[in-house]
Amino acid sequence: MNEPVNSPRVLKMHPEMGYLADEQMDADREWFFHHPFATKYYRKPFESEVIEFCELEPGRKLKKILVTKVSEGARSRRPIFYDA
């Protein structure tokens, strides 16, 4: 069984955004499936992530997302912002 991963922030998503999160998670899952030895990669943010992460850093523009493979089937996302 998977162990819970401690995260510095847990963001709550509006229920109507669930399908967008599924789309993003499916894309990350597929990327790691095709790159089995990779542990991380950078990608363009999905529109839902722009909304989600820009609330954390008002006034800053989201540049990219660092997706890290924590364990099999578990990934974390870290927003990377443009320098102010």
Domain that holds residue 58: 15-81
- Asked if 28 and 70 touch (Cβ cutoff 8 Å), the reply is no
Q: How many domains does the chain have?
A: 1
Taking only the tens place, the pLDDT of each residue in 2-40 is 444 444 455 555 565 566 678 888 999 999 999 999 999
- Predicted local distance difference test score (pLDDT) of residue 39: 96
Global pTM reads 0.73
Say if 8 falls within a structural domain.
no
pLDDT attached to residue 56:
81
Asked whether the beta carbons of 79 and 45 are under 8 A apart, the reply is yes
Is 2 inside a domain boundary? no
